[in-house]
Amino acid sequence: MFKKQALIWLSVLLFVCLVATVAGCKPDEPKPTPAEYTVTYDKGNAAATGTAPQAKKYAADSTVTVEANPFTLTDYAFIGWKLDGTDTVYKPNDTFTMPEKNVKLVAQWTRTSWQGNELVTVSEVLSQIPDTESDEIEYKRYIDGIVKSIDNATFGQMTLQDETGEIMVYGTQSEDGSLRYDAMTDKPVAGDYVVLYIQNIKNHQGKTKEINRAWIVHFEKPSTPDFDVKDYSAKNISEARSEKAGAKVLVEGVVARITYAKGMKPSGFFLVDGTDSIYVYDSQIALQVAQGEKIKVAGERDNWILETEQSAAEKFGYTGCIQLASAHLVEKTASNQGPDFGWVQESTVKKIMDTPVTENITTTIFKVNALVKKAPGSGFVNYYFDDLDGETGSYTYTQCNGSDFGWLDEFDGKICTVYLSVINAKSLATGCVWRFVPIAVEDEQFKFDEKNAPRFALDYYGVEQFEAEYNADPSLEVVTEVTSELLGLGKITLSYASNNEASVKFATADGKTVMHTLAAGKATVTVTAEYKSYKDSAEVEIVVGDKPSYQAVTVAQAIAAELETDVTVKGVVGPSLVNQVGFYLIDDTGVIAIKTTSEQMEKVSLGDEVTLKGTRTNYKETQICLLDSEILFNGFGGHDYSTKTFVTGKTLSEITKGDTSQNNTATVYVVEVEIKVNVGNYSTNVYLTDGDTELLLYASSGSQYSFVSKYEGQKVTVELALCDWNGQGTKGCVLSVTDSEGTKTVNTLNFSK
């Protein structure tokens, strides 16, 4: 029995040992081989010679020792191996940890000479230029660097920089000196690497050390762009215009018109596709493209407003010029196919001008018939685009005194087909005015169709006379005849009829037709125009309201009011201010300058009796006026303004050299003077003089005082106010001039009626 049990336990024990042996004595499994990645070497420049180090495999996280450089490159020195895709540069025998990916090391080179000629640095050139003014010094050397900016697109003036500093290069030419920068087909722009052959150096006027002239012997674009086109969404131009400010867009189109800044430096261009147009603001791209070229541009959708005009623009709801900024030229073709204008909407200059600035129409294009007018000034030329009435329009925006639009000269005085764009709105405290850029002009020998004469008279003369609402009788003399020498039209007759003569009535006497408003109510006025056998009509809705009642002070009380308080004052609209939007408000107690907006000025005319509200202030601390004035009520009336408070019996010398502690900018003097006109290269100034004293008249242009300057050299009597609108000293403002024959001419500069 014992033996049998012992045998059983022995068998169990042997089984357990066998299991333990099988489980515990299993042979070792092979460990996995670590992943290996490859290091390759690239010569970094196609011109380099030599055999690249053999590619090697390294395990991830192992140490890599960088190989020596086996390459040579004429005119260059090796500076290290750049880890591809990074900014890290390794020297031979440097080490790094192998990442879990293949890597490439690219040879980096720095140019040390050009075709065997040593290169000088910016600091070395500067050290050779005298510290005082000098003539040109011959200095035949090669220099390289990065173009920081092109500062004059005609002469190729640029700012060149390298690791040692920067220097101005006054003028650059082609490699052999035969072509000026602007005549070169391919030329460097900001950001490009260049090699220049210096001709001479100088210290200009003892202020600027410069390379005076150099030849562009080589240039190349950056090897890696400073942007990723994948960050930009492809859009047509219409879609791009609709994007929010800041959106990154990629657009393709044809360059339709290049714009220029001071010195005829390209500043940007209009880009057009089959959907719309947009302005691209980038001077460096503008240097590289030509009108008619098809290009692709990446940029940020932007709304631009001049910084000094932002508050005024916000006041009137203008959001700024629609454009692309921070742009990059992605692609261009050499073809000159011209822009597609098939999408352009036909309009009129008048409709464009009447478009409120809250409706942003900037940098799109309209097709209009317009009168092109060249208006030379002192040292500048303005070009205007007026509608068929020859009056309604605006001027071309120029930063080059008009020289950038000399191509318009052949169209001067002609009615042409004009593809016209609004580039921006001039935004002032007094209002916003659209400014034009012509994209293309075609002289198609315009001939007005006389069957449209009645509609022309209605649109430009008939309907425009009326306000939508009256609270007093304007005794408005309406237009009954229209002629146009410009369009070759004889007399077009206009007649008027009211469907409610209790409220609006037309009376004819002494060959004049006058509209009167009577009882409160509404009336539909039908204006009918007839020319030969052609006839047309238009309707105008007029509301006649009750005369409002206001608690108004006199002009003297307004002058005496506490500064920066609002006052309501009643008086007669007197002569215009000059170089300010507004007029003098006058009653029997005094005279005060009224600053207002262009919109408010359209509501009044000389002699109207008005009640208005404005802020009493001393503008620029010196000019007494009411600021931001609003017309509350126009009683019309055609009144003569009072001269009861005008000061007589003083000479010009006494007026200008009086008590300087007194603010006399709310005083009008009647004084005898002689008119003096000084015509300069860029401006014309008009003076009053009595032989002992001269007083400059305040104006932005001598043309604003043409009604005075025509009496040059003559003695006249003027109504004179002293003014100081810019805080730079007292000047004069003429309210009226009376000649030796007693004919009085009043300053009506700002009045449209």
Domain with residues 450-544, CATH architecture: Sandwich (2.60)
383 half-sphere exposure, CB direction, 13 A CA radius: 27
Domains 225-443 and 450-544 share a fold: no
Please tell me the distance from the alpha carbon of residue 540 to that of residue 523, in angstroms, as a whole number. 8
pLDDT value of position 33: 67
CATH of 114-220, one of 3.40.50.300, 1.10.3720.10, 2.40.50.200, 2.80.10.50: 2.40.50.200
pLDDT value of position 24: 46
Whose tokens are 């207002």? That residue is 596
Helix, strand, or coil (residue 124): helix
- CATH number of the 36-111 domain: 2.60.40.4270
User: pLDDT averaged over consecutive 10-residue blocks of the chain (753 residues)?
Assistant: 42 42 51 83 92 94 95 93 92 95 94 92 96 94 94 90 96 94 89 95 95 95 78 97 96 96 90 97 90 94 93 92 95 80 96 95 98 89 95 92 95 98 90 94 96 97 94 94 97 98 95 95 98 98 94 97 97 96 97 94 94 96 95 93 96 84 91 92 87 91 90 96 91 96 94 81
Sheet with 469-470, strands from edge to edge, namely 469-470, 534-544, 521-531, 489-498, 481-484
pLDDT value of position 29: 60
- CATH number of the 225-443 domain: 2.40.50.200
Per domain, the residue ranges of the chain are: 36-111, 114-220, 225-443, 450-544, 548-753
pLDDT value of position 168: 97
If you compute the radius of gyration of the chain from its CA atoms, what whole number of angstroms results?
Answer: 39
Q: Residue-wise over 108-126: b if at least 16 C-beta within 10 A, else e?
A: bbeeeebeeeebbbbeebb
Distance between the two ends of the chain, CA-based, in angstroms? Answer: 142
Q: Decide the pairing of beta strands 365-376 and 345-346.
A: parallel
pLDDT value of position 377: 81
Q: List C-alpha distances in Å: 400 to 260, 301, 325, 404, 446.
A: 7, 26, 22, 6, 30
Please tell me the distance from the alpha carbon of residue 440 to that of residue 366, in angstroms, as a whole number. 11
pLDDT value of position 2: 40
Whose tokens are 């150099």? That residue is 214
Fold of 548-753: OB fold (Dihydrolipoamide Acetyltransferase, E2P) (2.40.50)
DSSP string, 651-720: -HHHHHTS-TTS--TT-EEEEEEEEEEEE-SS-EEEEEE-SS-EEEBP-SSGGGGHHHHTTBT-EEEEEE
